[in-house]
Structure 1
Amino acid sequence: MGDVEDYLTTLSGPERDAVARVYERARALVPGVEEGRSYGMPALRYRGSPLVSVMVTRTHLGVYPFSPDVITALADELQGFRTTKGSVSFQPDSPLPDDVLDRIVAARRDEIDARAR
């Protein structure tokens, strides 16, 4: 197992389902990602860089795309969700829409690709 899979085994119920959904969508959008850690969080990594992490906190779930630019670029689509410079917060019963989640992951992937050129 890897860091993400190990983390998922510590969760249950709606929180586990919500976290697993984020990772599943990211894996589908970015084939070849690897499990690892970044900033102490289990994360999917792409081309050696952190792609995305999602964690359960005491009050919410947080998606971390490791890029303030991604959050800024998608600010209009993230209205209704609490955002910080590096994260988007949501609840298991009010998840990020699939298309928005996909755009977060794709934008981060594109940043990593651009740096690799």
Structure 2
Amino acid sequence: MKTKSPSTIDEYIQSFPKEVQTILTNVRNTIREAAPNSSEAIRYAIPTFIQGGNLVHFAAFRTHIGFYALPSGNTKFQKELANYKIGKGSIQFPLDKPIPFDLIRKIVKFRIQENTLKEKKTKAEQIETKIRRNSWW
């Protein structure tokens, strides 16, 4: 039987044991603090913060917290992430070690800058396309 996916981040967090709930709440609050203009959603069945597109995702697993900052977030902070298991766009923070909230904050702020630049570039490209369509030459 398939379990129902949570529809809110609160529901997601409440589905875990108390100790993990505390960690997830602290991760969520750290992201909120670093990205006060972001919105929250459940995407891919995990908590997601959105600001100019997907900002970051996080999730709990049996032995770690998964943090997903897209490949660029991992590349930018490669040196600081050396002690963690990382994938193309994922980071694993072991549950039996302190969660690096300062690093999470830095990554979120970097992703905000990245999404803001992407938005500006997209708007500039749209304006350029309109100008080309309306030009006489």
Q: TM-score, normalised by structure 1?
A: 0.86
Tell me if structure 2 keeps the 8 A contact 1:4–1:44: no
Letter in 1 for 2:104: L
**Partner amino acid, structure 1, of 2:41:** G
Alignment of 1:12-23 (within 5 A): 12-23=17-28
Aligned pairs, number: 115
The structure having more radius of gyration, on CA atoms, is 2
Q: Secondary structure at the match of 1:76?
A: coil
| Structure 1 ranges of 4+ moved more than 3 A | none
In the alignment, which residue of structure 2 is the partner of 1:30?
35
- Report the counterpart of residue 8 of structure 1 in structure 2: 13
Separation of aligned partners in 1, 2:22 and 2:104: 15
3-state SS, counterpart of residue 77 of structure 1: coil
Please provide the CA RMSD for this pair.
Answer: 1.8
* Distance in 1, Cα, partners of 2:89 & 2:38: 20
Which of the pair has the greater relative contact order for Cα pairs under 8 Å at 6+ separation?
A: 1
Unaligned 5+ runs, structure 1: none
Q: CA deviation at 1:27?
A: 0.5
Query: How many Å apart are 1:40 and its aligned residue?
Result: 3.2
Q: CA deviation at 1:17?
A: 1.4
Give the residue type in structure 2 aligned to 1:71: N
Whole-angstrom distance in 1 between the partners of 2:117 and 2:99: 26
Identity percentage of aligned residues = 26
- Could you tell me how far apart the structure 1 residues matched to 2:96 and 2:36 are? 28
User: Where does the alignment leave 5 or more consecutive residues of structure 2 unmatched?
Assistant: 1-6, 121-137
**Aligned to 1:97, which of 97, 100, 104?**
100
1:110 to 105, 113, 121: 113
**Alpha-carbon distance in 2 for matches of 1:84, 1:64:** 9
Work out the CA distance in 2 between the residues paired with 1:109 and 1:100.
Answer: 14
Contact between 1:38 and 1:50, CA under 8 Å: does it hold in 2?
Answer: no
